[in-house]
Amino acid sequence: MLSVERVSKVYETRSGPYKVFDDISFTLERGRHIGILGRNGAGKSTLIRLISGAEQPTTGRIRRGMRVSWPLAFVGAFAGNLTGLDNLKFVCRAYGVDYKPLIPWVENFCELGGFFREPVMHYSHGMMTRLAFALSMAIEFDCFLIDEAMIVGDARFHERCHYELFQKRKDRSFILVSHDVNAIKKYCENAVVLHNGRLMTFPNVDAAYTFYLETLADKPEALEQWRM
Amino acid sequence: MNAARGDSPFLQSFAIQIRVLHALMMREVITRYGRDNLGVLWLVGEPMIFTIGVATLWSAAGLTHGGTGIPIVAFAVTGYSSVLMWRNATSQCSAGIEQNKPLLFHRSVLIVDVFLTRIALEIIGATSSFIVLAVFFTFIGWMPMPDDLMLVIEGWLMLAWFGASLALLVGGGTAFSNLVHRLWHPIAYLLFPMSGAAFMVEWLPKKLQDVVLVLPMVHGVELLRHGYFGSVVRTHYDIGYMATCCLVLSLCGLYVVREASRRVEF
């Protein structure tokens, strides 16, 4: 089980401390799928980074009772002066996985050709995304963190990502950040909404989405109603 | 501090750390020395070229130290190798966070791992180059055999400890302010002439002796040279003092590094 316990995150900015969210909690059982909704800037990506453990919460704690991935297809997690293959080796060594049997699959999935053995700083964004996604699939995680906005690519790439994730690995947990309610409805049993530094939980995806639409319309009373 | 390791029992955390250190070590070796040309031989080659250069310059400048009986090459090798021990590890760590930022995104990769990897590589490099140079120059007769090998090793280990603790402190400090990274370079240059690499404490006036002996690394170099040259020259060192300084630096360094890992942002 993954549990986020009373977590807040404050960033230092030039104009003083900025609180992204305050005292948020939720849990995710093994094999369950949850969506995160929220307006731009609500802190969705920050929450994903905290859950992945790349950054530490300012207060509170996050317990990971399962192997949690890094944010899927996040291109910033790889060394630019290493080749695609070297990055695969690094990730495998760090996670304790033998990289040799994985090379053919990763190479085939990335469709990078000879560039797989070139430094990744020479990759286009699309190439980088394919490599990053393939590397996240190379390690067997129990829980995947998915920020849909990061998985940029053509329709075929999307299709292959969806197959790898939502079909081959549907028994795993995942946390899906998306603005697309259809994706969340299709893949998640429930959703939460990040709004004004708080995390709202709902009985089902529809209720969460209704609230999310109200926050989009920027109706302050939406929040008030919910508080009642 | 770290949830990934904090959640696991000690042995499991230890296994993860060993894996991560191995992965980082391979990554550093590839990016810094490449697969082309001499590759990993540069780990030894870089400090070797420095030491040979310095030894040559000093020899050419005729710095014979007025009949003190210390051969200039041996003096340069012991001196410059000692500088490499504390300077390179610290410089590498002061750039460590920035250069490994993407890899720190992985939960199991911590700042302290980046530093430990870089410190280990620098110590391995400086030690190998010291051994290779000493053996080579002794073989061709430019350098005497060490008088007391155990003292040499003791001095070397103390310098390694000093280098490692300084590297942790400075490297960790860079997470708090970029000023630390910027200031380290001028400080390293200023420390070099005072570090005991280019003089013996005995040659200084008494007042100056007391000043340079505040610097911990001077004690290490003096000990190293005591081991190397024996009683040819009178040496001044207090290993208790140096150990105390190293201990304090290590504790401060570890504390700063722990705090630094809470501050990483992407």
Burial class (CB in 10 A: 0-12, 13-18, 19+), A87: buried
A35, A69 Cβ separation under 8 angstroms: no
Integer angstrom CA distances of residue B166 from A80, B103, B130, B157, B173: 28, 23, 21, 14, 10
* Residue B118 predicted with pLDDT over 80: yes
A95, A56 Cβ separation under 8 angstroms: no
Residues B1-6 have a mean pLDDT of: 45
Residues of B within 8 A of A81 (CB-CB) are: 31
Closest CA–CA distance from residue A53 to any residue of chain B (Å): 5
Cα A73 to chain centroid distance, Å, stands at 9
DSSP secondary structure of A93-130: HHHT---GGGHHHHHHHHT-GGGGGSBGGGS-HHHHHH
Most confident of A56-65, A146-155, B34-43, B44-53: A56-65
Other residues' Cβ atoms within 10 Å of the Cβ of residue A19: 12
DSSP 8-state class, residue A41 = T
Burial class (CB in 10 A: 0-12, 13-18, 19+), B67: exposed
Complex ipTM, two decimals? 0.84
Do residue A82 and residue B100 have CB atoms under 8 angstroms apart? no
Burial class (CB in 10 A: 0-12, 13-18, 19+), B147: middle
Other residues' Cβ atoms within 10 Å of the Cβ of residue B99: 17
Residue-level pLDDT at B37: 63
Residues A184-214 pLDDT 10s: 888 899 999 999 889 998 998 999 999 998 8
Q: Which residue shows structure tokens 């280019």?
A: B198
Residues of B within 8 A of A94 (CB-CB) are: 19-20, 23-24, 106, 108-109
Residue B3's pLDDT band, with cuts at 50, 70 and 90, is very low
Residues B199-238 pLDDT 10s: 889 989 999 999 999 999 999 999 999 999 988 888 999 9
Do residue A96 and residue B19 have CB atoms under 8 angstroms apart? yes
Residues B80-115 pLDDT 10s: 889 989 999 999 999 999 999 999 989 899 999 999
Cβ of B27 under 8 Å from any chain A Cβ? yes
The chain-wide mean pLDDT, for chain B, equals 87
